[in-house]
Amino acid sequence: MNAVLTEQQQSELFDRGQFRAELTLSSTAIPAYKKCLKQAEITMNQWFDEGVPIQALVRGRAWLIDQVLSLAWEHLFGGRDDIALLAVGGYGRGELHPFSDIDILILLQQDDPEPFRENIEQFLTLLWDINLQVGSSVRSVEECARQASTDLTIITNLMESRTITGPEPLRNRMMSLISTDKMWPSQSYLQAKYEEQRTRHRKFNQTEYNLEPNIKSSPGGLRDLHMLGWITRRHYGTDQPEDLVKVGFLTDTEYDMLLRSRDFLWQVRWGLHRLSGRAEDRLLFDYQRGLAAHFGYHDTNGTLAIEQFMQKYFRAVMILGELKDLLLQHFDDEILSSDKEEEVIPLNEHFQVRNNYIEVTSDQVFSEHPSAMLELFVLMTRNPFILGPRASTIRLLRTHRNLIDESFRNNPEVNQLFIELMQAPYALTANLRRMIRYGILGSYLPEFRRIIGQMQHDLFHIYTVDAHTLLLIKHLRRFNYQESEEPFPVACEAKRRINRPELLYIAGLYHDIAKGRGGDHSELGAEDALAFGQRHGLSEADSALIAWLVRNHLVMSTTAQRKDLSDPETINHFAQLVGDRRHLDYLYCLTVADINATNPTLWNGWRASLLRQLYRETSRALLRGLENPIDKHELIAETQHIAREFLRENSVNDTAVQTLWDTLGDDYFLRHTPEEIAWHTSGILHHSDSDTPLVLIRETTERHFEGGTAVFIYAKDSSNLFAATAAALDQQNLSIHDARIITSTGGFSLDTFIVLESNGSPIGDNPGRIERLCNRLSKILSNPDSFQDIIHRRTPRQLKHFAKAPEVIISHDMLNNRTVVEVYATDRPGLLAMMGKTFSEFAIRIQNAKIATLGEKVEDVFFITDRSGNAISDQDLYSRLKQTLCMRLQDYANQDALGQ
Angle at 471 between CA 470 and CA 475, to 5 degrees: 120
CATH topology of domain 7-184: Beta Polymerase; domain 2 (3.30.460)
Residues 6+ apart with CB under 8 A from 567: 670, 816
Average pLDDT over residues 295-304: 83
pLDDT, residue 208, reads: 58
For residue 283, give the nearest of 814, 798, 882, 753 by alpha carbon: 798
User: What does 710-732 look like in DSSP terms, one character per residue?
Assistant: EEEEEEE--TTHHHHHHHHHHHT
What angle is formed at CA 794 by the lines to CA 789 and CA 800, rounded to 5 degrees? Answer: 110
Buried b (16+ CB within 10 A) or exposed e, 712-740: bbbbbbbbbbbbbbbbbbbbbebbbbbbb
| pLDDT, position 700 | 67
DSSP alpha helix (H) spans, 150-215: 152-159, 168-177, 186-202
- pLDDT confidence band for 80 (50 / 70 / 90): confident
Residue 580 has pLDDT above 50, yes or no: yes
Res 90 pLDDT > 50: yes
Q: What integer best gives the mean pLDDT of the chain? A: 87
Give the residue among 163, 77, 152 at the shortest CA–CA distance from 117. Answer: 77
pLDDT band at 856 (very low <50, low <70, confident <90, very high): low
pLDDT class for 299, splitting at 50, 70, 90? confident
CATH, range 678-897: 3.30.70.260
pLDDT in tens, 639-676: 999 999 999 988 888 999 999 999 988 888 888 889 99
DSSP state of 792: -
Q: What is the residue type of 361?
A: T
* Nearest partner of 441 among 309, 318, 621, 616, judged by Cα: 318
**pLDDT tens digits for 464-500?**
889 899 999 999 999 999 999 988 999 999 999 999 9
pLDDT in tens, 371-394: 999 999 999 999 999 989 998 899
Q: Which residues on adjacent β-strands are paired with residue 713? A: 695, 751
Answer whether residue 899 shows pLDDT above 60.
no
CB 866 within 8 A of CB 840: no
Using 50, 70 and 90 to split pLDDT, how confident is the model at 898?
very low
Looking at 298-302, 400-404, 566-570, 691-695, which range is the least confident one?
298-302
pLDDT of residue 190: 87
* Burial zone of 653 (CB within 10 Å; 0-12 exposed, 13-18 middle, 19+ buried): exposed
Dist CA 516 CA 461 (whole Å):
13
Residue 106 pLDDT = 96
Sheet containing 162-165, strands listed edge to edge, beginning at the edge strand earlier in sequence: 134-140, 102-108, 83-87, 162-165
Quickly list DSSP for 244-282.
HHHTTSS-HHHHHHHHHHHHHHHHHHHHHHHHHTS---B
* Domain boundaries along the sequence of the chain: 7-184, 186-339, 341-427, 445-620, 631-677, 678-897
Report the pLDDT value the prediction gives residue 460, as an integer from 0 to 100.
61
Of 190, 211, 164, 438, residue with least CA distance to 307: 211
Q: What is the predicted pLDDT for the residue at 703?
A: 45
Sign of CA dihedral 657, 658, 659, 663: positive
CB atoms closer than 10 angstroms to residue 342: 7
Question: How large a percentage of the chain has pLDDT more than 90?
Answer: 46
pTM, 2 dp = 0.78
Region 329-338: what's the mean pLDDT? Answer: 73
Q: pLDDT digit string (tens) for 609-638? A: 889 999 999 999 998 888 877 778 888 899
pLDDT at residue 801, as a whole number: 53
Count Cβ atoms below 10 Å from residue 459 Cβ, excluding itself.
Answer: 23
**Range name among 159-168, 211-220, 521-530 with the lowest pLDDT average:** 211-220
In this structure, what DSSP letter does residue 336 have? I
Per-residue pLDDT of 888-897, as tens digits, reads 888 776 665 4
- Give phi and psi for 250, each to the nearest 5: -130, 145
The per-residue pLDDT for 67 is 94
Q: What is the mean pLDDT of residues 196-209?
A: 72
Q: What tens digit of pLDDT does each residue of 221-263 get?
A: 898 888 888 888 888 887 677 777 877 778 888 888 889 999 9
Biggest distance spanned by C-alpha atoms of the chain: 103
In this predicted structure, the answer to whether residue 517 has a pLDDT above a threshold of 60 is yes
pLDDT in tens, 119-145: 999 999 999 999 998 999 999 999 999
pLDDT at 702: 43
Please say whether the beta carbons of 93 and 239 come within 8 A.
yes
Of 284-293, 507-516, 800-809, highest mean pLDDT: 507-516
- pLDDT given at position 790: 47
Instruction: Render the burial of 427-437: b for 16+ CB within 10 Å, e for the rest.
Output: bbbbbbbbbbb
Q: Which pLDDT value is given to residue 506?
A: 98
- Residue 895 has a pLDDT of 62
pLDDT at position 814 is 80
The continuous run of DSSP H or E covering 204 comes out as none
Neighbours of 129 (CB within 10 A): 13
DSSP class of 209? -
Averaging pLDDT over each range in 8-12, 414-418, 618-622, 674-678, which range is the top one? 414-418
The string over 496-519, giving b where at least 16 C-beta atoms fall within 10 Å of a residue's C-beta and e elsewhere, is: eebeebbbbbbbbbbbbbbbbeee
Taking residues 731-742, report their average pLDDT: 82
Q: What is the pLDDT of residues 752-777, one digit of tens each?
A: 888 888 777 788 888 888 999 998 89
Q: Give the least confident one: 15-19, 530-534, 581-585.
A: 15-19
Averaged over 36-48, what is the pLDDT? 94
Q: Which of 233-247, 487-501, 516-530, 543-557 has the weakest average pLDDT?
A: 233-247
CATH of domain 341-427: 1.10.110
Q: Classify domain 186-339 at the CATH topology level.
A: Four Helix Bundle (Hemerythrin (Met), subunit A) (1.20.120)
